[in-house]
Each structure stands twice: as structure tokens, then as C-alpha cells.
Amino acid sequence: MKHTFPKEWKKFTVQDDPLTLYYLEDVDDKHCVVHCITEDGEQEDHPYLKGQVKEIFAKGSWKFVEDGVTEIVSSSALDSQVGGDHYKNKGIQPVEYCYKNNLGFLEANVVKYVSRHKDKNKEQDILKAIHYCKFILEFEYGIKE
């Protein structure tokens, strides 16, 4: 089934799902509808507040395009990882959690090592996390072993 949409709708695709086309229809200043067309021609329509669309697709890599040309771009440093995938396979990456919660260097290292221990250095990462907890106890609370 061929779908035709008004030219003013913005067409885009998502890197994680390149076979689905998305069309963004502005309804008013605050609302829009995302029309999804799958590779088998099925159409689904999803209403959103405009700010939600950016949040929902922020994790994927996408770009609005014009004149029917779809371009896939990488838009986030979170999309790639140097040296393995022990962070990318998490629901939220440690760096993102630490940044959004304004954690300092010591706390961020605790989160990092605890998050990856099963996928990388096992008990060594837990020992590293404990070591950083000891730094916090000493520097923040004056407790020395």
C-alpha cells in the first residue's frame, strides 16, 4: 500500500529502525502527530506534545529531511563506545546518569564500576567501587580506616 502525505509534514527515519518511515504532522503550537509507516506498509498514528517527540527520538539518531530524501545521522556520543559495549547495553548509561544527577568524580566512579562489573572486570570492579567509597568517606566525612 502506497501512502502519500502532505508536503509540509516532516519526514525522518531512526538509525535503530531504518525500515520504518516517520512523518511528523504539526497540529498546533503544542501538539503534533507522528505517523509511522512500517516496511510492510502498515500505518500507525501517535499523538504527542511537541516536546515529547524530541525526548522520544533523542536516543535514536535521526534528522528531518526535505523532498523525500531520508538521511540517517548519528546525533549522540551515547550511540558509540570505545573499547567494548559494557555501557551501551544498559538501560541508561552511567555517564548519562552521573551527568543528570550532578555526581562528582568520586561518586561517578562508584556508579561506573558497579554498573559494569558483571560485563567487564568482575570482582576487580567491585573492589574499585569500594576504593572510591573509601575516598568519599575520608574526603567528605573525615573517616579513615
Tell me the pLDDT tens digit for each residue of 27-83: 777 776 777 777 777 777 766 655 555 555 544 444 444 433 333 344 567 767 778
Identify which of 27, 26, 24 has the alpha carbon closest to the alpha carbon of residue 13.
24
Tell me the pLDDT tens digit for each residue of 1-35: 455 666 666 666 665 566 667 667 777 777 767 77
Per-residue pLDDT band for 90 (boundaries 50, 70, 90) equals: confident
pLDDT at 51: 57
Which stretch of DSSP H or E encloses residue 16?
Answer: none
DSSP H helices in the chain: 50-57, 94-100, 105-116, 123-141
Chain-centroid distance, C-alpha 46: 20
Indicate whether 91 pLDDT > 70.
yes
> Which residues share a beta bridge with 31?
49
pLDDT at 108: 95
- For the chain, helix (H) and strand (E) counts, in that order, are 4, 4
Is 30 in contact with 49 (CB distance < 8 Å)? yes
0.85 cut: is pTM over it? Answer: no
Supply the Cα-derived Rg of the chain in whole angstroms. Answer: 22
- Other C-beta atoms closer than 10 Å to the C-beta of 131 total 13
